Amino acid sequence: MYNHSMAYSTYTQNNVGVDSPEKLIQMMYEGILRFNMQAKRSINDGNIEQRTYWINRSSAIIIELLAILDYTQGDVAHYLAGLYQHQLVLLTEANMDNSSEKLDKVNLVIKGLLEAWRESSNVA
């Protein structure tokens, strides 16, 4: 599904302590949820600059998740690619439309992926 060594290498080059490549994916999903929460707060505060900043951070993580997909692992990688691309569209629309609802849609998908990832990789 993911090219763990590539993801792990990228993250460790940025001097961030990560226990395992599996933990890294979990942290990326959690980061999207955290950044989207900040973006929603910015929407509520009417702070366009901060909204854009946080949505861009979430988008950057999804782009990285796309980059590390391992297509030799079969259909799941292709499914995730489509799912991630759709989340990028929703984030762009959330930014353009100042929409907390579209952020909620992304969060719902990412929460589901995070839960499934934790179950499949036994990462707490």
pLDDT at position 20 is 82
Sequence-distant (6+) residues with CB within 8 A of 3 are 68, 69, 70
Phi-psi region at 6: left, alpha or beta (left = phi > 0; alpha = psi -120 to 50): alpha
Amino acid at 22: E
C-alpha–C-alpha distance, residues 106 and 124, integer Å = 22
Q: Which stretch of 8-12, 36-40, 72-76 has the lowest confidence by average pLDDT?
A: 8-12
pLDDT of 8 over the 60 cut:
no
Q: How confident is the model at residue 39 (pLDDT cuts 50, 70, 90)?
A: very high
Domain ranges in the chain? 4-121
Distance CA 28, CA 71 (A): 19
Residue 104 clears pLDDT 80, i.e. is over it = yes
pLDDT at residue 7 above 80?
no
Look at residue 73 in the predicted model and tell me its pLDDT. 85
Query: What is the sign, positive or negative, of the torsion defined by CA atoms of 24, 50, 111, 89?
Result: negative
What value does the mean pLDDT take over residues 84-104? 98
Q: Which two tokens stand for residue 50?
A: 């901060």
**The domain made up of 4-121 is a member of CATH 1.10.287.310:** no
